Amino acid sequence: MRAKKSVTALMSAGLTAAIVSPAFAAPNSESYFLKRSTRQVLDLGTTGASVGDMAFSVGVMGSKRGRTDAGTYNFRGITVAVPIPGGRENRDSLIQLNLKAGLILMEKIISVPAGTVPDLTETYPITGGTGNYAGARGTVLFSVLSDSEYKVEVRITK
């Protein structure tokens, strides 16, 4: 609403607004619960964790734990470093939240136990979006609830 008033004020003053702020101009926070339904791993290098290995997951999202009313999500992880065999590996992690109002993309390098799923809380930067989330910036706090359930807190700042 604030962005709309600013544009109206500029136009009333005889100026034209070149940029119109998206619908989420004010800080916005949304929480969702993710439940993985499928996970696939492509072991592309030597047996065990190695650079280039890929993991893919899909699942449902809910407004509360155990619900599936918010949409779906996709995850893609590519192993980019395995410092100590059998230890933690670094993955380029891309997560896409598919919501009714559009999608939110986030990506960062995370550290996970070799060959397994994430086990730590991470803060992802929002790298893109569509629909109501086009041009979104902010962060997503990704928290592990179990080996197949997660909570995400989306914090849109502009």
Is the model's pLDDT at 89 over the cut of 60?
yes
The whole-number average pLDDT for the span 88-92 is: 94
Task: Please write down the long-range contacts of 46-52, taking CB distance under 8 Å and 24 or more positions apart.
Answer: 48/85, 48/86, 48/114, 48/115, 49/79, 49/82, 49/85, 49/86, 49/89, 49/114, 49/115, 50/79, 50/82, 51/79, 51/80, 51/81, 51/82, 52/78, 52/79
Neighbours of 157 (CB within 10 A): 14
Q: What is the pLDDT of residue 7?
A: 36
Per-residue pLDDT tens over the stretch 78-87 = 999 987 777 8
Q: What is the pLDDT of residue 116?
A: 87
**What is the phi/psi pair of residue 7, to 5°?**
-65, -45
Calculate the average pLDDT of the chain. 85
Q: What is the pLDDT of residue 28?
A: 87
Share of the chain above pLDDT 90, in %: 69
Is the model's pLDDT at 22 over the cut of 70?
no
* Residues ≥6 apart with Cβ < 8 Å to 115: 41, 48, 49, 89
Q: pTM for the whole thing? A: 0.80
Per-residue pLDDT tens over the stretch 97-148 = 999 999 999 999 999 998 888 999 999 999 999 999 999 999 999 999 999 9
Is the model's pLDDT at 74 over the cut of 60?
yes
Is the model's pLDDT at 27 over the cut of 90?
no
* CATH architecture label of 27-156: Beta Barrel (2.40)
